[in-house]
Amino acid sequence: MLNVLHAQWYRIARNRAFWGLLITFAVIMAWDMVSVGQNYHGQEGYFDGIPPIGQDGVKVNLDAGAYLGKGGVVYFLLTLVLLLVASLFAEEWREGACRSLAAAPSFRRDYVLASALTVALIALLFIGVAWAAVWAVIPRFPLLGVGDEMGRFARWSAQMVLVLEGYGMLTIAVAAATKRLGPTLLATLLLGTGQFEILLANGYVIADQVAQLAGLPALPGASGVAAAFFDSPAMLPSWLPAAQLQWMMGEGATPTAADAAPVALLAAVAIAVAWFAVRRRAL
């Protein structure tokens, strides 16, 4: 697995698009945090229950995840990382760059595990850049501070990594199955926008309605899925990744083990799907 991982990162390190996106992301994050700081610093009246800063010595002091959520970073980071994964791995499969390592008996398994680790490392790298932007910009505003609750931000980051792991491995599965950039980018857009999960949820509800019309028992949990379409901002049950991302856009979003467990399970399923696609596809 280490040989495959080394080969992947050798290609990534020599990819100008990767460095270009990373630098662009860093610049946008710095500017985004300037905008967030100005919004808080120049507020008049109450903002999310926080009194006007400067009034009676009140100071805004949030953790990094809250600033990133308020800055709309969640979906931007998600989309950017998924597009990067799609382009890197679709190119790898189209060019057959991994054939030189395919002689190893466990190559396909090692490839999937190395790819899963690569997706996680890319996600952590971009999250680290976003975290650095918060600390580099927000404290420059006299009445703004960044909380030292690293445990909360670590849980926020872990949840983002799990979501990106699931979406990223499904993207890699499509890249391996098609060896084409177009379908891979389409899968990326469906996953990154939450439309894939909405389509699945709607399909499940429709299947339940058809089953009841046919006199069959109701499908498990179908009523809850249908209710979430109207009650949830993401139009999905709260345990799905797209709904988790919507929630993480707000202040004080601190994922717990109960939040992470279903997302981790879905990430494991995505890794299994990628392994199946790689196993069935000729190199």
> 260: how many CB neighbours lie within 10 A of its CB?
18
What's the confidence (pLDDT) of residue 81?
A: 92
Whose structure tokens read 């069935």?
280
Q: How far is CA 27 from CA 5, 44, 134, in A?
A: 28, 28, 12
What's the confidence (pLDDT) of residue 27?
A: 92
What's the confidence (pLDDT) of residue 46?
A: 39
What's the confidence (pLDDT) of residue 40?
A: 66
Residue 144, φ and ψ in degrees, nearest 5:
-115, 145
DSSP per-residue letters across 33-55: HHHHHHHHHT--S-BTTBPPTTG
By the 8 A CB rule, do 204 and 225 touch?
A: yes
b/e sequence 161-185, b meaning 16+ C-beta within 10 Å: bbbbbbbbbbbbbbbbbbbebeebb
H or E stretch at 145:
strand 144-146
Domain segments of the chain as ranges: 2-194+236-280
In DSSP terms, 145 is beta-bridged to 61
pTM of the complete model: 0.83
Q: Strands 144-146, 60-62: parallel, antiparallel or unpaired by DSSP?
A: parallel
What's the confidence (pLDDT) of residue 163?
A: 93
What's the confidence (pLDDT) of residue 281?
A: 65
pLDDT tens digits along 215-252: 888 888 888 887 877 777 667 877 788 888 777 776 55
| Segments in the chain below pLDDT 50 | 44-47, 49-57
What's the confidence (pLDDT) of residue 109?
A: 86
